[in-house]
């Protein structure tokens, strides 16, 4: 019975050791040449770069990439990157020949395109501003004309008001004269009528004074 117990403990110890060895080996495999997911670098301004099967510059290139080509990093080891080209070729390149930012040769056309777009928008804005300035000038001319017409009508209205006031005063003066003249005529008519009536009465009375 003791023999079987000792054998079981020995097997357990061997299994634990094997697990530890397997775990250590797995950790080493993961840590060496660890892949970097979703990281991209670009070929520098060197025109052409060879993608090689080994970490050297002597072996025959598997593929050639040019400046600005986006390369997907699969592994980083020493001074080399294991990369994948857009066409699917896999190999090693010296990290000194690539960078995380696109080179000027790639950025320049993009910047030129953006500049042309902004310049076109600026020209459109300038054209709109020109149209607005023209409309403003026309409106200013119309406003000036309307102001002159208003001033002219104001002057005519003032002149007409003066004429109406003068006519009113003249009419009042004439009416006063006519009223006085009419009153005088009425008085004379009344006086003449009274004299005529008196004479007539005296004749009827045979010359007696009334």
Split into its structural domains, the chain has a count of 2
Mean per-residue pLDDT of the chain: 77
Residues 9 and 58 in one domain: no
Q: Name the pTM for this structure.
A: 0.38
Q: Is residue 60 part of a domain?
A: yes
User: Region 84-102: what's the mean pLDDT?
Assistant: 89
Q: 95 lies in which domain range?
A: 34-102
Give the model's pLDDT for residue 161.
87
Share of the chain above pLDDT 70, in %: 79
Q: Is residue 209 part of a domain?
A: no
**pLDDT above 50 (res 4):** no
pLDDT in tens, 145-179: 899 999 999 998 888 888 888 888 888 877 777 77
Q: Is residue 94 part of a domain?
A: yes
From residue 209, give the alpha-carbon distance in Å to each of 193, 199, 205.
Answer: 17, 9, 8
The CATH number that applies at residue 55 is 2.30.30.40
**Could you tell me if 52 and 62 are in contact, meaning their C-beta atoms sit under 8 angstroms apart?**
yes
> Residue 78: which residues within 8 A CB-CB, separation 6 or more?
55
**pLDDT above 70 (res 190):** yes
Q: Is residue 173 part of a domain?
A: no
Q: Is residue 182 part of a domain?
A: no
User: Region 74-91: what's the mean pLDDT?
Assistant: 92
How far is the C-alpha of 42 from the C-alpha of 59, rounded, in Å? 22
pLDDT in tens, 32-69: 444 445 588 878 777 788 899 988 888 899 999 988 88
């Amino acid at each position: 019975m003791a023999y079987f117990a000792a054998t079981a403990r020995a097997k357990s110890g061997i299994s634990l050791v094997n697990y530890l060895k397997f775990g250590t080996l797995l950790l080493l495999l993961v840590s060496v040449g660890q892949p970097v997911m979703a990281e991209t670098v670009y070929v520098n301004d060197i025109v052409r770069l060879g993608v090689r099967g080994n970490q050297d510059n002597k072996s025959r290139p598997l593929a050639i990439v040019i400046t600005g080509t986006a390369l997907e990093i699969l592994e980083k080891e020493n001074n080399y990157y294991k990369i994948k080209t857009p066409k699917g070729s896999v190999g090693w390149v010296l990290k000194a020949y690539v960078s995380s930012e696109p080179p000027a040769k790639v950025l320049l056309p993009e910047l030129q395109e953006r500049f042309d777009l902004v310049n076109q928008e600026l020209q459109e804005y300038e054209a709109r501003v020109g149209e607005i300035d023209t409309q403003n000038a026309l409106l200013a001319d119309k406003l000036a004309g309307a102001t002159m017409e208003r001033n002219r009508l104001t002057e005519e209205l003032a002149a007409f008001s003066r004429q109406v006031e003068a006519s009113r005063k003249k009419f009042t003066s004439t009416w006063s004269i006519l009223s006085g003249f009419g009153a005088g005529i009425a008085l004379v008519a009344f006086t003449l009528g009274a004299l005529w009536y008196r004479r007539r009465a005296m004749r009827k009375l045979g010359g007696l004074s009334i």
